[in-house]
Structure 1
Amino acid sequence: MDLTRRGFRRSATALALAAVVSGVVAGGCSRGAPRPAPEGTPSPDRAASPCPDVTDTAARAVARAEAVNTPWDGPTTGPRAVAGKSVVFVASTMTNPGVAGTANGVREAARTIGWRVRVIDGQGTPTGIRSALGQAIALRPSGIVIGGFDPESVAQQVKQADDAGITLVGWHATRSPGPSANPKLFTNVTSRVADVARISAYWIIATSNGDAGVVIFTDSSIPFAENKSQLIRKTLQSCSGVKLLEYENIPLPDTGSRMPVVTSSLVSRFRERWTHSVAINDVYFADAAPALRAAGRKGEGPPYAIGAGDGDPSAFQRIRDRQFQQATVPEPLNAQGSQIIDELNRAFAGRPPSGYVTPVHLTTTGNVGDSTSWEPRGYREAYRRIWLGQ
């Protein structure tokens, strides 16, 4: 859908967008301050950056990713909806806003074509996920969605589902988008993790002019997440002025209990050296905020934070209010829910996967406006035309 912008205007050309990002880099008085500057602000002195070429590349990439009003570039043709199907969405944990948002998108899309959907919550534990998937298989649905967990961790059940003729589609289940032979998935719906990781790191490099002290928050128990955070680390290391202060492994189900303690410790240890944070999910920053407030930090100040994935409504709110998060790389969760249903329908119709991969987008304090999510324009209409001919 279109993002409504408030008090922030750009021209449609890439050069003007690059100028805005250059202004962002120049606009802050303190180190790394990602404050939007008026259009036309002179570019910062790239020679002053420890990595001028990387910083310039980063600023241009950020400008492109911040573009709004993105039209639908996904499937426009495919099989009509196969009637009478049922789907079970097995969620890693419904406390993860990205998983919950995608599940809601699956429900909405399934209603459009009259399919039955049930969501089973894995409660964020290996035992809970195995139990949830076992319940899903016992229901003998037409398809099962692996919602945000590693199918290799339940390999025996994945084989059991395949042997039962149940089609499996993943969401953030494997490291790459597209089909998977082992474990067997018809396809995996996600953005390209390398693109998300790169733009997250580039935002830090661009807004700090290549001079930042960074903490990475990840969940190493999820291969997709660990791969993303390692790619972020690699991109950050391309600039000599960016220092990785800490690499924090905190499982997503534990962020509520662990982030306040870890955040307090990081503030105490690194003080002003901690200028930026990047996390594989926005929820880390929601749980860090109370500890930062208690330490006397200001919501619009350092450590400046970017979420490398999902982009749930609470993240948009924090960005809009400048409350301990300044950017996110949002997945179009509702549109991905529609894509999951479309991929399942292609499988049921004997067609191959669509091959579509979500393009990378960046929401910041400069372009968030009044929006609560990011979705490409026209995806609902495109899928309705495919499924219903309308």
Structure 2
Amino acid sequence: MHSHRKTSLTAATLLAAAAVLVGCERGSSTGTGDSSGGPGGCPETLARAEAAVRQAERTNVPWNGPTSGPEAVSGKTIVYVAQTMTNPGVAGAARGVTEAAKVIGWNLRVIDGGGTPAGIQAAMSQAVALRPSGIVIGGFDPNSTSGQIAQADAAGIPLVGWHAVAAPGPSERPKLFANVTTKVEDVARISADWVIARSNGDAGVVVFTDASIPFAKNKSELIRKELATCSDVDLLAYENIPIPDASTRTPQVVSSLVSRFQNEWDYSVAINDLYFADAAPAFRTAGKQGSGPPFNIGAGDGDPSAFQRINNEQYQAATVPEPLSEQGWQIIDEFNRAFAGRPASGYAAPVHISTAANSRGATTWDPAGYREAYQNIWGR
């Protein structure tokens, strides 16, 4: 056990003591101080993490996405197949697609897979049977619907994924014209770095994941790997809770973890913000303050409810939001490139950390200028 878990000091006293004794910058979320001594455990890792967090918390980053491409191809119909519309990230991206489709002048239909393998397969079968111009793989593993993917490919229907595979850009196996996402390595690293920086390199951490989704499992493994770069950061628990089961299972798991670890647990990272919505009642029942500890960061997706929890200090301190609206517009732009016989854009938005300090009451985050950029490209 490390020093922060050997004492019965309150969290506030601990933070104050750390600031006085260590005097090391804790990231912009907690302010800065004059350095009068080194952190325990991982000074080089801590310095790198603090620099990365400062960069990710900036809000004045200019648009670095595409500024050129084919003009709008007319008369297209897109079907968005959602893993489940109860997943805020999936739903947020769907809203962005809806908005962009209206601007470019296309028809759009959303089919909800309901979060079950059978439901997603049925939704994909329905989508292929409609013979649309393109299909969005909205937040599920394309390999779980390999038969329908093959049918779409045979019918010449391009597929664009949102969080469908691990990496942004085109995919050969499974066959996707493009996959729209931030780089999972960057999201995982910065969420773990936030814990390292904010805790001054001394934390007891719980990680929440959904191992049934390859993308999510990969993200949580990368989070675990980055946390391990600091020797005084302890991974207390690695909890696998499928997203469709989160509302029922998370409260029970959190209650058990609080009982088991008590004050040792002072940070959490989840692959999706929604775990903290479901964890809040259990934290409240256990007498935990909404402002922490544990200090919780979501490594995606940055939906409005996550921002509300952060801004109101209700059991979430930060999120690494996907720019959901921008990504919806990018999905439409990728289809437009496919229809025009052009290659995918290859764009992946840079990672960002939203806190109460830098979100200023906002409930979403998107890079500035994306709407104007895409409208200029499409001639709309």
The sequence identity of aligned pairs, in percent, is 63
Contact 1:26–1:44 under 8 Å retained in 2: no
Query: How many angstroms apart in 1 are the aligned matches of 2:14 and 2:320?
Result: 22
Query: How many angstroms apart in 2 are the aligned matches of 1:229 and 1:355?
Result: 24
* TM-score, normalised with respect to structure 1: 0.90
Look up the equivalent residue of 1:28 and give its one-letter code. L
Q: 303, 311, 316: which is aligned to 1:325?
A: 316
Query: How many angstroms apart in 2 are the aligned matches of 1:335 and 1:358?
Result: 9
Q: 4, 16, 23: which is aligned to 1:29?
A: 16
- Equivalent residue number for residue 219 of structure 1: 210
Query: How many angstroms apart in 2 are the aligned matches of 1:85 and 1:313?
Result: 30
Shift of 1:175: 0.7
Shift of 1:153: 1.1
- Equivalent residue number for residue 189 of structure 1: 180
Q: Does structure 1 residue 237 correspond to structure 2 residue 228?
A: yes
Q: 255, 263, 266: which is aligned to 1:275?
A: 266
Look up the equivalent residue of 2:33 and give its one-letter code. T
Look up the equivalent residue of 1:52 and give its one-letter code. P
Listed as ranges, the gaps of 5+ residues in structure 2 are 1-11, 20-25
* TM-score, normalised with respect to structure 2: 0.93
Aligned length: 363
Q: Deviations over 1:202-261 (max 9, x none)?
A: 000001111101000000010000000000000000000000011100000111000110
Alignment of 1:1-390 (within 5 A): 28-29=15-16, 36-37=29-30, 41-43=33-35, 45=37, 47-388=38-379
Secondary structure of 1:117's partner? strand
Query: How many angstroms apart in 2 are the aligned matches of 1:318 and 1:206?
Result: 21
Listed as ranges, the gaps of 5+ residues in structure 1 are 1-24
How big is the alpha-carbon RMSD for the aligned residues of Structure 1 and Structure 2? Answer: 1.8
Contact 2:268–2:297 under 8 Å retained in 1: yes
Contact 1:317–1:372 under 8 Å retained in 2: yes
Shift of 1:113: 1.4
Give the direction of change, closer, same or farther, for the CA distance of 1:44–1:105 in structure 2 (3 Å limit): farther
Shift of 1:69: 2.3
Shift of 1:156: 1.2
Contact 1:27–1:37 under 8 Å retained in 2: no
Give the direction of change, closer, same or farther, for the CA distance of 1:74–1:44 in structure 2 (3 Å limit): farther
- Equivalent residue number for residue 6 of structure 1: none
Secondary structure of 2:137's partner? strand
Contact 2:132–2:157 under 8 Å retained in 1: yes
